[in-house]
Amino acid sequence: MKKAMNYVYGPIPSRRLGQSLGISPIPKKACNYACIYCMLGPTDKMTNTPQMFMPVSDILDEFDQVLASGIPFDAVTFAGDGEPTLYAGLKELIIELKKRTKKPIALITNGALLSDPEVYDTCMLADIVMPSVNGYDEASFKRINRPHGDIDFEQVTLALKKFSRQYPGLLWLELMLIKGINDSTENLLKYQDFLHQFYMDKLYINTPVRPPVESFAQMVTHEKMLEAMDILKGIGIEDAYENGYASEISDDLEAILNITQRHPMNQHEIEHFLKKRNNTNIENIFRLLRSHPKIKIVHYRGIDTYRIK
């Protein structure tokens, strides 16, 4: 059995990126936002200052192991436990990764630090940048993202606007639609107006399909998603329940524990994952998970989601 890694995980099948090898260069919930829909739990490490949370070489060592093992992947994606641009080693890491792989490097970010010239330059190096845009004005921004006190909506917007004009890679914006919070037709028309200022390749429209940190941040209806796609000309992400998972760890229970450190899995995802691996005693794995001291089960919209405590 291969040992679990600390910073590199997957590859995880992604509708957008194929087999996506994940890198999480930050401790759990180090973030400059405390979004109401966050699936990672409360932001207990609120910070707006990039830090060298771990040496770049530690992450590269793990990446080199993956390369040496020959595991195929289609993209390298920065995401995971919090806001990746808060890792002060990100620029050096991307430069080093690009020496090692020709695969695209994608960065999932909230975009709040694009007004910092160092972070701006770092983002320019990635092949795909996926910033979130959830506020169309100061009030909606604060209500949904609950940013660090030093973050100013106008600054974030101006920086993203500039970035969208200069960035040579793929810019995929992502909007989180939340029932009763930002999904009225009036809200959608405000987003339409707001989003016009950015040059983007795609707009993805998401909704909280996994248990959010605030129980009032609920997913929108299918009809609402269709309305948003029509008004905003975006792509709806509604297949989250069907996403598969993969792991290089041979022990099934360990593999699930490793994946849930980054991505909570619901019961269907776990079952699908185990079936794919030809596990013949799926109920036993569920029994072990239910009694595991590290696992917390959250019941949301009729589905059990398993996440690390």
Binding positions for ligand SF4, rule: CB under 6 A: 31, 33-35, 38, 40, 43, 82-83, 110
Of residues 34 and 231, the one with the C-beta less far from ligand SF4: 34
Q: Which residues contact 174 (CB under 8 A, 6 or more apart)?
A: 130, 131, 132, 133, 203, 204, 205, 206
Closest CA to 21 of 6, 10, 13, 37: 10
CB of 54 to ligand SF4, least distance (A): 18
CB of 39 to ligand SF4, least distance (A): 7
Measured CA to CA, the distance from residue 73 to residue 85 in angstroms comes to 23
> What is the three-class DSSP state of 257?
helix
CB of 116 to ligand SF4, least distance (A): 16
> What is the three-class DSSP state of 92?
helix
Within a 10 A sphere around the Cβ of 136, how many other Cβ atoms? 22
**φ, ψ for residue 237 (rounded to 5)?**
-105, 100
Of residues 33 and 87, the one with the C-beta less far from ligand SF4: 33
Of residues 174 and 183, the one with the C-beta less far from ligand SF4: 174
Determine what percent of the chain falls in helix, strand and coil, rounding each to the nearest 5: 40, 20, 40
Of residues 31 and 188, the one with the C-beta less far from ligand SF4: 31
CB of 179 to ligand SF4, least distance (A): 17
Of residues 43 and 182, the one with the C-beta less far from ligand SF4: 43
Burial of residue 186, with CB atoms counted within 10 A of its CB: 0-12 exposed, 13-18 middle, 19 or more buried: exposed
CB of 5 to ligand SF4, least distance (A): 20
Q: Give the chain's largest Cα–Cα span.
A: 55
Of residues 50 and 252, the one with the C-beta less far from ligand SF4: 50
CB of 110 to ligand SF4, least distance (A): 4
